[in-house]
Amino acid sequence: MFGRKKRNTEEIVDDVVVDETAEEATGQAEEAPAEPETELSKAEAKAREWDDAFDREEGPFDISEVDLEADEDDVKRLDLGSIIITPFEGMTMQLQVNRESNKVQSILVGDGESGLEIAAFAGPSKSSMAPEIREEIIKGTQQQKGQIALVEGPFGTELRRALPVTDPNGNPATHVSRTWLVAGPGWLLRGVLLGKATFEPQNEAAQVALFEFFSNIVVRRGTAPAAPGSLLPMQVPQAEG
């Protein structure tokens, strides 16, 4: 298993691109909206500060940064092509397959109470696409009349979203998620956290297994040309020793 530690510090941007803070979901009076450009620029400045403070020393990793063959910890891993994962006890996994291409585009792993959807994308070799992806997520959330907060999370900037949805019975409901974006050499890894860990972000026990799982992902970008932002397709997993 690769070394890592849980980051406990957390700060929430509560004056930019947020309808409510991540800690307070109700009871706040509405204020006049700020100018979008000013709002976004303040948020992005803080987000980049958090991203810069995260260095991937404890994962997720690029394939060039680890030597899986020399690793003598007897950990069993699964090779999905663009990513190599380390299953944890009791883990469930679903493959998200594109019906048109019949290719695996993401995976959803769970611990029984929470889930984590993983997707890998091609990215620039010497810079990060996280700012562009963040902007798309923020705009998409606003268009859906949802709420979003930028938070200092365990992997740099974390996005916490609450989107209005309709449940199977036709009643109004809210879909809550937390998004992690980590950039590496030529790739960007996205993890979307769902379930109990999103409703109880301060509950370490509710998220530790999925945090550890995400930390131990190894990304294999490959050498094939790919446009930045395009999905790095996965394959049906093969066992790794």
In this prediction, residues 167-190 reach a mean pLDDT of: 94
pLDDT for position 72: 59
pLDDT for position 144: 94
45-240 maps to which CATH number? 3.40.1000
| Rounded Cα gap, residues 98 and 154, in angstroms | 30
CA 110 to chain centre: 14
Q: Which phi and psi (to 5°) does residue 136 adopt?
A: -65, -40
| Rounded Cα gap, residues 239 and 237, in angstroms | 7
In this prediction, residues 187-202 reach a mean pLDDT of: 95
Compute CA distances 27 → 23, 33, 161, 174, 222, whole Å.
12, 17, 18, 17, 49
pLDDT for position 225: 87
- Is residue 120 predicted with pLDDT exceeding 70? yes
pLDDT for position 22: 37
Name the token pair of 93.
Answer: 């996994």
In this prediction, residues 120-148 reach a mean pLDDT of: 92
More confident position, 11 or 215: 215
Does residue 235 contact residue 23 with C-beta atoms inside 8 Å?
no
Residues comprising the chain, all counted: 241
Lowest mean pLDDT among 26-30, 75-79, 183-187, 227-231: 26-30
- Cα 87-93-99 angle, rounded to 5 deg: 135
In this prediction, residues 173-182 reach a mean pLDDT of: 96
Lowest mean pLDDT among 12-16, 57-61, 162-166: 12-16
Residues above pLDDT 90, as percent of the chain: 65
Lowest mean pLDDT among 72-76, 103-107, 201-205, 233-237: 72-76
| Strand, helix or coil for residue 39 | helix
- H or E stretch including 42? helix 36-53
pLDDT for position 1: 56
Lowest mean pLDDT among 12-26, 84-98, 176-190: 12-26
- Is residue 26 predicted with pLDDT exceeding 70? no
Beta strands in the chain (DSSP E): 61-62, 77-79, 83-85, 92-97, 104-110, 114-122, 147-153, 156-166, 172-184, 187-195, 218-219, 238-240
Q: Give the list of residues 6+ apart from residue 218 with CB closer than 8 angstroms, or none.
A: 60, 61, 62, 63, 66, 68, 77, 83, 84, 85
Lowest mean pLDDT among 24-28, 61-65, 85-89: 24-28
- Is residue 43 predicted with pLDDT exceeding 90? no
pLDDT for position 73: 63
